[in-house]
Amino acid sequence: MIPELGQFVLILALGAALLQAVLPMAGAARGDKVLIASARSTAIAQFILVALAFAALTWAHANSDFSVRNVVENSHTAKPFAYKLSGVWGNHEGSILLWALILAGYGGVLATAAARNETLQARALAIQGAVAAAFLAFIIFTSNPFARVFPAPPDGLDLNPLLQDPGLVIHPPFLYLGYVGFSITFAYAIAGLMAGKIDRDWAAAVRPWALAAWVFLTIGIALGSWWAYYELGWGGFWAWDPVENASFMPWLAGTAFIHSVRVLEKRDALKVWTVLLAISAFSLSLIGTFLVRSGLITSVHSFAVDPTRGVFILVILAAVIGGSLLLFALRAPLLTSNARFSPVSREGSIIANNILLSVACVTVFVGTFYPLFIDVISGNRLSVGAPYFNATFMPLMALLLLVMAPAAMLSWKRGDIGQAMRRLWPVGVVALLMIGLSLFLTWPKHVAAGLGVGLAVWAGAGAVLDLARHARVRADGPLGALKNIAALPRAYVGMSVAHFGLAIVAIGVLGAGVWRSETVVFMNPEDAINVGGYEVTLKAVNQAQGPNYVFERADFDVHRNGKFLRVLAAERRFYPVRGMQTTEAGIWASLKGDLYLVIGEHNEEFGAVVRAWYNPFAVWLWIGSGIMALGGFIAALPRPAARRQAVTAPLVPEAAE
């Protein structure tokens, strides 16, 4: 009965979404305040109904209701309860329902938020309702999560073992919060185009939503990278897989957008470019959904193999992207601005930032879709992997790191690059010293990586120096500086923190991606190997039973310079229901680097295959990602009214605003 109720409220949610799409739009056209106000009630109703449907599916999974096909195909009585719950979105139907829930949730939050412009907000909610209606129709007609199975089997087929992991419990919700968050900025962009009014008030209304989406997407990508690092047993963190790229492309476009919308809010400039980026960020989120859910690729994330679903998503994609770009082409000429600024200015530096990020996004797009395009039209399979992306994407990121520090010190309208460089001379000295140290330790290999470390230090230390200058650390001391930072514009403080986080990520990428070392050997108990300066001894290999798997556990003793440090364990698991095997790497993480051990198949003559890596600075990747997300969060916070008074003006130089 509960699944039928879930199906029923899902149909009601589709009706609410259609009303949300039609009534407010008609009200905005006619100036009818009653119809305009209906945007709020229909959006809240849609959210409640979708939440009830999601709760019904969650109930079916939690209670192992094997009369529901979705539960049969993705659950098992022996599966731990936490993974029964995460199994709700560990499949095609459930993941799309989660997408619809988050989309409705954003609409509900927008409906309860105070409006700067009631008509603009109503139009935005109507656009959101139209997108929601498309996805709800997709669920109901092609991806019904409540389909029944008669007779009900006694047990299920279990969830993909790779998804039975804490990282996969929290990674998809954060990723979807980022993906779908850009639907708000998209909706506002379309609403603004329809009204022919993109101005500072529009930017102020949109920017917090864009920052929230960017923060969630940053966390989601970092969690996915972390999961791939410790769960897949390959010693890496990023493989330029199409599914990874599907989340990275909207992040790049979103990063450009949050910079551009700041210019629009501050200077009433870059209107056309900002709207185009808003459309692009959400369009790339939809493209990523199509890529993963259409069956074009096969991966642990790819659930859909029915071509009907792919065609349906493609129609949604064509309608949303095609319709929005057509409206953009018709209305963009109306978006004029009288703002003037020098190429050497804060505005000019953000344009340079946008160009680099946009070209990087196009580079990733081409590398992701060109092989698929060739496969579709000719049947020939091409492989575009790390060499392509390293050769095309990495130089763009190097340029981005190079310009970040001086760009942040430029004033609005007209800046002084000479003055900025003079302020940065201590940072330049430190960066050159780090380049020299890196080259000394790794010569003659990895010269480019040594230069990359210098650029990362240049960008990160530059952000810290500029923040310290505005906080007046020398004049007011540490405690006074903290008070001064609290008085600075949140957008500026958040930018500085996020830029510092990006520099930390860059060092982690170089350390774990370029400087890592790997050893692959056969080992028997009491055999030892050296990796990364550690001596690793295999002590024992034992078998045991898990909740819904059997596993083989290898215990290693880790020594350095003859001193015992710790025991590190690695596992190889076998899930009999699915007939699949997974690895659980043994990882000892530290700021200096990670010791990473994986046990493989046994050979009766030679012993067990052991793969060992030492990944310098690997943990900096996720520390830096967290700092970046923190920066976005700070930038999204509203500045208290008390701090908007003129008393704080001396602490806020023009370059920091």
- What pLDDT, on the 0 to 100 scale, is given for residue 314? 85
Provide the pLDDT confidence category of residue 645 given band limits of 50, 70 and 90.
very low
Instruction: Give the SS3 label for residue 312.
Output: helix
Joined tokens for residue 210: 């864009």
Residue with more model confidence, 442 or 324: 324
- What pLDDT, on the 0 to 100 scale, is given for residue 642? 41
- Give the type of residue at 429: V
Arithmetic mean of pLDDT, 567-584 = 93
- The angle that helices 166-195 and 92-112 make with each other, rounded to 10 degrees, is 50
Residue 641 scores a pLDDT above 60: no
Instruction: Give the SS3 label for residue 414.
Output: coil
Provide the pLDDT confidence category of residue 138 given band limits of 50, 70 and 90.
very high
Arithmetic mean of pLDDT, 159-176 = 89
**Nearest residue to 189 via CA among 161, 167, 209:** 209
Residue with more model confidence, 448 or 597: 597
Asked whether the CA dihedral 499, 501, 507, 510 is positive or negative, the reply is negative
- What pLDDT, on the 0 to 100 scale, is given for residue 640? 60
- What pLDDT, on the 0 to 100 scale, is given for residue 649? 39
- What pLDDT, on the 0 to 100 scale, is given for residue 296? 62
pLDDT digits (tens, 9 = 90+) for 454-474: 999 999 999 999 999 999 887
Residue 650 scores a pLDDT above 80: no
Residue 53 scores a pLDDT above 90: yes
Please say whether the beta carbons of 569 and 586 come within 8 A. Answer: yes
Provide the pLDDT confidence category of residue 648 given band limits of 50, 70 and 90.
very low
Provide the pLDDT confidence category of residue 654 given band limits of 50, 70 and 90.
low
Pure H helices in 472-489:
473-487
- What pLDDT, on the 0 to 100 scale, is given for residue 294? 62
Please say whether the beta carbons of 248 and 293 come within 8 A. Answer: no
pLDDT digits (tens, 9 = 90+) for 272-318: 999 999 999 999 999 887 777 665 665 444 444 567 777 888 889 89
- What pLDDT, on the 0 to 100 scale, is given for residue 657? 61
Provide the pLDDT confidence category of residue 443 given band limits of 50, 70 and 90.
confident
Residue 596 scores a pLDDT above 70: yes
Average pLDDT of the chain is 90
Arithmetic mean of pLDDT, 312-334 = 92
pLDDT digits (tens, 9 = 90+) for 614-637: 999 999 999 999 999 999 999 998
Joined tokens for residue 302: 């790819």
**Nearest residue to 501 via CA among 275, 79, 219:** 219
Residue 513 scores a pLDDT above 80: yes
Residue with more model confidence, 226 or 382: 226
DSSP classification of residue 411? P
- What pLDDT, on the 0 to 100 scale, is given for residue 647? 36
Residue with more model confidence, 383 or 184: 184
Ranking 290-299, 556-565, 592-601, 642-651 by mean pLDDT, the lowest is 642-651
How many C-beta atoms surround the C-beta of residue 30 within 10 A?
A: 10
Arithmetic mean of pLDDT, 475-483 = 85
- What pLDDT, on the 0 to 100 scale, is given for residue 375? 78
pLDDT digits (tens, 9 = 90+) for 61-84: 999 999 999 999 999 999 999 999
Dist CA 399 CA 382 (whole Å): 29
How many C-beta atoms surround the C-beta of residue 501 within 10 A?
A: 23
Ranking 193-197, 438-442, 486-490 by mean pLDDT, the lowest is 438-442
- What pLDDT, on the 0 to 100 scale, is given for residue 373? 82
Arithmetic mean of pLDDT, 489-514 = 94
Instruction: Give the SS3 label for residue 233.
Output: coil
pLDDT digits (tens, 9 = 90+) for 10-49: 999 999 999 999 999 999 999 999 999 999 999 999 999 9
Residue 112 scores a pLDDT above 50: yes
Arithmetic mean of pLDDT, 80-90 = 92
- What pLDDT, on the 0 to 100 scale, is given for residue 305? 53
Arithmetic mean of pLDDT, 394-422 = 93
Please say whether the beta carbons of 526 and 538 come within 8 A. Answer: yes
For 1-164, CATH number out of 2.60.40, 2.10.260, 1.20.120, 1.10.150 equals: 1.20.120
Residue 217 scores a pLDDT above 90: yes
Render 544-567 in DSSP notation, one character per residue. Answer: EE-SS-EEEEEEEEEEETTEEEEE
- What pLDDT, on the 0 to 100 scale, is given for residue 394? 93
Longest dimension (CA), the chain: 83
**Nearest residue to 132 via CA among 116, 110, 157, 158:** 110
Report the side by side order of strands in the sheet with 550-560.
Answer: 528-531, 534-545, 550-560, 563-575, 580-584
Q: Tokens 């609005």 sit at which residue?
A: 412
Joined tokens for residue 337: 């601005």
Arithmetic mean of pLDDT, 494-510 = 96
Please say whether the beta carbons of 278 and 192 come within 8 A. Answer: no
Would you call 217 exposed, middle or buried from its count of C-beta atoms within 10 A (0-12, 13-18, 19+)?
buried
Residue 134: what are its φ and ψ, rounded to 5°? Answer: -65, -45
The percentage of the chain sitting over the pLDDT mark of 70, rounded to a whole number, equals 95
- Residues across the chain: 657
Provide the pLDDT confidence category of residue 644 given band limits of 50, 70 and 90.
very low
